[in-house]
Structure 1
Amino acid sequence: MKTVRLTLRYDAATIHPMHRFVAESDAFDAYRMVHGNFAGDDDNAFIFHVVGDPDVYEAALADTGRVSNYELTRTGDRTFTVYVRDLPAEVDARLLDLFTERSLVVLPPVEYRSDWTVRFSVVGESDDLRRVLEGIPDGIETTVDRVGEYDGGDAAVGALTARQRETLRVARELGYFDVPRSAGVEDVAAELDCAPGTAAEHLRKAEAAVVDALEL
């Protein structure tokens, strides 16, 4: 099975009103869909984890006209979970059909970002993944961030190339990540038999890939 990491960028006509509201508000720091049931005839059920102001969110949710039912549960001062029954627009229904057909499995969480993009990973057979990419509706720009073999492993580890993984392993064994640090880039480079600049580049790219893959 293949796994593909995707970024979908919505325009003003295709973005969900709650995604747009959260993206344009200063009251929220994170917005992720962690579970979903797409089998409803008229609506779909989702669970979101949100970091932000629950009162602001609930007021906007009640005004969208797209929600048939919801329940908001506060889990902290600025964290809450929302169970939502959402009435999909045509573009949403088409996307759900695309990403739930045949061999495809969407891996939660699905991250809704402030730049009107949605990021997630999907697993499936190559032909089905190719078909879904070709079928993305107009008004949504698709970027393939990463393609690899699905091994059931950690997403952060899966984001690394073999060379980046080796670099991080060597750096950890030498003490590069210790506090205080007991090895430098030169030590990592010597162990890898490469130039310090090359080792530094591998470390930067590996660290960036791991942080990007983490669902923070």
Structure 2
Amino acid sequence: MYEAVFHVRGEGPYERATAESTTRIDLWCNDHCDLLSIVGDGEELVLDRIREAVGVSQRLGDGDDRLIVTSACLKQHAEGYVEQYLAAHDCLTLPPLRYENGAKVVRVLALDAANLTAFYRDVASDYAVTVESKRELPTPSVDAPLLSPDALLPALSPRQREVYRTAHEQGYFELPRETTTAEIAATVGIERRTAEHHLRRAEKKLADALVDAL
């Protein structure tokens, strides 16, 4: 079995929303509606795009983390460019679909590597596509489910990931610390308090996700 993660740029409402903000959307399709996890600081813009496209049925949470249940399924109102290529080349996709930085991020599985190649070839002929990763997977079993690091780690917004990575690269977590939040903020190009907010949010999410494994 083979897996590849593709970034496909399109003109859908969620691609446009994430291109215009530092927000990430994770989508689980339920045919009649979608469950969305919205992480980032462009919430109102994203909500406007969702209302325009499919409507908002329920909202839960506040700040830069929110769960949304839509009034309808996005694939009923937007061009299903990924689904048609998956079917044509006997490929599967694993939820959630992810939208960030103006692209739809799709994790695709195939039993034959040639099918992944054909999928990429056809999608790339119509859309701007980049390959994030590609690997061969062991055959899954009942007691060893098919997981990737993304399935285990919490959803961080693009800005939270950027600030956390910058902090790590600059030695913020070393003992003693080799940088300050002011220097991290200057590198990223944001205010110090904003950088500290994103760093604290990222640290809490990672701690909450890992504490049960300790």
Question: TM-score, normalised to structure 2's length?
Answer: 0.54
User: Secondary structure of 1:112's partner?
Assistant: strand
2:149 pairs with one of 155, 175, 190:
155
Q: Which residue of 2 aligns with 1:88?
A: 77
Higher strand share: 1
* Correspondence for 2:15 among 16, 19, 36: 19
Note the alpha carbon deviations across 1:72-122, whole angstroms, 9 max, x for none: 322233321122322333xx32322222567422123332122x2222321
Match of 1:72 in 2: 58
Change (3 A) 1:128 1:31: same
2:186 matched residue in structure 1: none
Shift of 1:137: 6.5
Unmatched segments (≥5 aa) in structure 1: 157-177, 182-213
Deviation string, structure 1 residues 178-215 (Cα, Å, up to 9, x no partner): 9759xxxxxxxxxxxxxxxxxxxxxxxxxxxxxxxx9x
Compute the displacement of 1:49 (Å).
0.5
Does the 8 Å CA contact 2:86/2:92 hold for their aligned counterparts? yes
Work out the CA distance in 1 between the residues paired with 2:91 and 2:108: 7
Counterpart secondary structure, 1:108: coil
* Higher CA-based Rg: 1
The number of residues matched between the two structures is 145
**Which structure 2 residues correspond to residues 190-205 of structure 1 after superposition, within 5 A?**
none
Higher helix fraction (1 or 2): 2
Specify which of 14, 23, 29 is matched with residue 36 of structure 1: 29
In structure 2, distance between residues paired with 1:56 and 1:6 = 25
The change in CA–CA distance for 1:154 and 1:136 in structure 2 (over 3 A counts) is closer
The residue type equivalent to 2:38 in the other structure is: V
Q: Sequence identity, in percent?
A: 14
Q: CA RMSD in A?
A: 3.4
Q: 1: CA distance between counterparts of 2:45 and 2:132?
A: 32
User: TM (normalized to structure 1)?
Assistant: 0.53
Moved over 4 A (4+): 53-56, 100-103, 178-181
- In structure 2, relative to structure 1, the CA distance for the partners of 1:141 and 1:55 (3 Å cut) is closer
Look up the SS of the partner of 1:97 in the other structure.
helix
1:49 aligned partner: 37
Cross-structure match for 2:106 = 120
Q: Give, in whole Å, the separation in 2 of the partners of 1:4 and 1:100.
A: 16
User: CA distance change for structure 1 residues 88 and 95 in 2, over 3 Å: closer, same or farther?
Assistant: farther
Distance 1:5 1:123 in 2: 9
For the residue of structure 1 that corresponds to 2:46, the secondary structure is helix
Unaligned runs of 5+ in 2: 139-145, 151-172, 177-205, 210-214
- Change in Cα spacing, 1:71 to 1:113, as seen in structure 2 (3 Å) is same
Asked if the contact 1:94–1:137 (Cα under 8 Å) also holds between the matched residues in 2, the reply is no
Counterpart CA distance in 2 for 1:128 and 1:96 is 14
Amino acid of the residue matched to residue 86 of structure 2? F
Other-structure match for 2:48: 59
- Whether contact under 8 Å (1:2, 1:150) holds in the other structure is yes
